[in-house]
Amino acid sequence: MQEKGSISIHTENIFPIIKKFLYSDHEIFLRELVSNAVDATQKLKSLAQLGEFKGELGDLKVKVSVDKEARTITIADRGLGMTGEEIKKYINQIAFSGASEFVEKYKEKDAAAKDQIIGQFGLGFYSAFMVAKEVEIFSKSHKEGTEAAHWVCDGSTEFSLETTEKAERGTDVVLHVAEDSDEFLEAARLRGILNKYCKFLPIEIEFEGEVINQTAPIWTKQPSELTDEDYTKFYQELYPFSEAPLFWIHLNVDYPFNLTGILYFPKVKDELQFQRNKIQLYSRQVFITDEVKDVVPEFLMLLHGVIDSPDIPLNVSRSFLQADAAVKKINTYITKKVADKLAELYRKDRTGFEEKWSDIGLFVKYGMLSDEKFYEKAKDFALVQNVAGKFFTLSEYQEFVQANQKDKNDQTVVLYTTDSEAQHAFVQAAQERGYDVLKLDGPLDAHFIGQLEQKLEKVSFKRVDADTVGKLIEKEEQTESVLSDDDKTRLQDLYKQAISNEQMQVQVEALSPQDAPVIITLPEFMRRMKDMQRAGGGGGMQMFGSLPDSYTVSVNANHPIAQRILQAEGEAGNKLARQAFDLALLAQGMLKGEALTAFVKRSADLLAAE
C-alpha cells in the first residue's frame, strides 16, 4: 500500500534555502549520508553487545556506489534500518522540523541562523538535495516481523511511502543526481570526498570494491599500545612528503570534555613557516575542518596532527567552530599538555632537548610572547645560546653573567649579537673584556628581548654594536684620556669637518689604545625603534614618520692615530680622519658606492706616500 503525504511545514521553498545558505560546499552531502549510515551501524553493534539484538551481524560495511548511466549515487548500510513509521518520524517529522526551524530562524536573523549548533537539527540527511533532484530510501528494520519501506521525495514538501521487498536489514539511500551536479557522478570525485572526510570512520567504507578507511586510527588507541614506529608511520600517512617529526603528544581526556588526538612537532627551524591548516579536526572520526584556530592556541598552529572531539560545537553545516566555554577549556588543556611535554623532555634528556632547540625554539618563544600561562611554564625550560655554542636556561644565564656584567647601577647587562659575522669586531671587543655574548638572531628575538626585559628584574639587553665596549656596561672606573680637553675638542672638530654628515654624531672618548681608532654605533634605543617601525608596530611610532638614521661616531682619544691627526698639517689631517672614519664604515658594511671608490684610491695614495 502506498501512502502519499505532505510534510507539515509552512515554507514551500525550504530546499533552495538549505542549498543556498546552509551548505557552502556541496560535496559534504556524502560526508553527512555516510556518517548517518555509520551511526546506524554502530547503534546496531551496541544493541548486539547489550543483548538486545540477537541476530547475526554479518558484514557491517557501508557501501558507496555510483551508476553514471542511471545518474544515481547509493549509500547502503546494514545497520538498524527503519520501518515505515520510523521513516515518517525520523525523516518527515524530526529532520524536516529541524529544517523548518532553521528556515524560520534564518528569516528572523538572516545569516546569524547559520551559527546555530548542528545538534539542534536533523539536517544532515537533507544535504542530499544539494546534488539530487530526487531521493529514495529503501529500508528494512532490524526488528523481527517488520516490512521494508520505500520513501521518495523530489525536494518539495511532498513525499510517498510504501511497503517494498528488501532482502537484508539496513538502509539504502539513492540519490538521483541533478543536471547541475554532474561532477558527483565521477568516481574519482567521490573517492576524493571519501578520502577527505571518511578516511578514519569506525565502520569500514567500501567504494568500488575497495575499503577506503582505517577504522581504528592510532589516536583512538591507548599510548601503551603504540610504538614510536606507529606514530611516525601515521605522520607519514597524514603528511606524505614531510620530514619525520621531532616528537609528539598523545591527547586523551574524558573530563570535563572528550578529546583525543595526536599533535606532532615538525621541524620548523628559524623561519616563520606559519603553515596553517596542518591540524585536522574530527568529530567521532569524521573529518570536519582544518581551520582550528579557536581550538588550538595561535602559537601552536605550527604543530601538525589530529584532534577529535564530539564536544566542540559546530554550526549547522559543521563548517565553523563556535567559540564558547568548552572550546576555551580545550584550548587551555592543549596549551598545558604541550608545556608539560616540553618540560618533561627537558628534564629527562637535557642534551637531546638542546639538540632540538633550533627546531622548537621559535615556537616556544612564540608561545611565551602570546600566552602568559605558557610563559610561566616555559621560562624554566626556554634556552638561550651564547656565541660559543653553550646553552643556558634564563635563570642559569643570569647567574652566569651577573658577577661580571653588572653596571654601576647594579643592573645586569646581557650583551647579544644578531649577526655574529657582521658584528664580529664588537663581539671580540666584548669578549676581550671578559664579557659573554648571546646569539639572538631569530625572527622573534627582538620581541623576545623586550619581553625578558619586562619580566626579569634588573636586567637589560644591549646589542654588542650599540655602543663602545666601555659604555655597553658602564662601570665606576673610567679609562683616562692621554689628550687634554683642548686637544679633544680640536680632534672632534677635525673629524666633523672630515665627515660632514649630520646623521653622524661625533664624540671623542678615552678608549683602550687596542680599540679601533673610530667606532660607529647605532644606539640600542634608536635601533629598536627603527626595528619596530619596520615591523609595522612601535606603539604609535608611525605618527612620528620615518625615523632618520642617527649614528654615534666614537673617536678613540688614546689610539696612536689621534696624535698623528692632531700633528698633521692642513689637508693631511683631514685625509687621515676621513680614512679612519671610512675604516669604521667598512667594518660595519656601510661603505658603498662613490665613498668606497674614494676610500680605495685614498688608501693607495697613503700607501704610496709611506
State yes or no: 97 annotated in a binding site.
Answer: yes
State yes or no: 363 annotated in a binding site.
Answer: no
Q: What does the block give as the cell for 422?
A: 657582521
Helix/strand/coil percentages in the chain, nearest 5? 45, 20, 35
Instruction: Compute the distance between CA of residue 71 and CA of residue 127 in angstroms, rounded to an integer.
Output: 18
State yes or no: 125 annotated in a binding site.
Answer: yes
Instruction: Compute the distance between CA of residue 381 and CA of residue 379 in angstroms, rounded to an integer.
Output: 6
State yes or no: 220 annotated in a binding site.
Answer: no
Torsion-angle region of residue 71: left (phi > 0), alpha (psi -120 to 50) or beta?
left
State yes or no: 504 annotated in a binding site.
Answer: no
Angle between helices 325-348 and 350-370 in degrees, nearest 10: 150
State yes or no: 441 annotated in a binding site.
Answer: no
Q: What does the block give as the cell for 221?
A: 588507541
State yes or no: 138 annotated in a binding site.
Answer: no
- Which residues of 379-522 form beta strands (DSSP E)? 383-386, 391-393, 412-417, 437-439, 459-463, 504-509, 518-521
Instruction: Compute the distance between CA of residue 406 and CA of residue 435 in angstroms, rounded to an integer.
Output: 10
State yes or no: 122 annotated in a binding site.
Answer: yes
Pairing label, strands 62-67, 279-283: unpaired
Q: Is 218 helix (H, G, I), strand (E, B) or coil?
A: helix
Instruction: Tally the C-alpha atoms within 13 A of residue 556's C-alpha that lie toward its C-beta.
Output: 22
Q: Is 32 helix (H, G, I), strand (E, B) or coil?
A: helix
Count of Cβ atoms closer than 10 Å to residue 104 Cβ: 13
For the residues of 487-529, what is the DSSP string, one character each? Answer: HHHHHHHHHHHHH--TTEEEEEE---TTS-SEEEE--HHHHHH
Angle between helices 350-370 and 445-455 in degrees, nearest 10: 80
State yes or no: 355 annotated in a binding site.
Answer: no
State yes or no: 98 annotated in a binding site.
Answer: yes
| Cα distances (Å, whole numbers) of residue 129 to 136, 296, 369 | 11, 34, 48
State yes or no: 82 annotated in a binding site.
Answer: yes
State yes or no: 57 annotated in a binding site.
Answer: no
Instruction: Compute the distance between CA of residue 291 and CA of residue 412 in angstroms, rounded to an integer.
Output: 44
Burial of 412 (0-12, 13-18, 19+ CB in 10 A): buried
* Residue carrying C-alpha cell 538535495: 129
| Residues 378, 381, 384: CA angle, nearest 5 degrees | 105
Pairing label, strands 247-253, 259-265: antiparallel
Binding-site members are 32, 36, 77, 82, 97-98, 120-125, 171, 318
The binding site for ATP comprises 32, 36, 77, 82, 97-98, 120-125, 171, 318
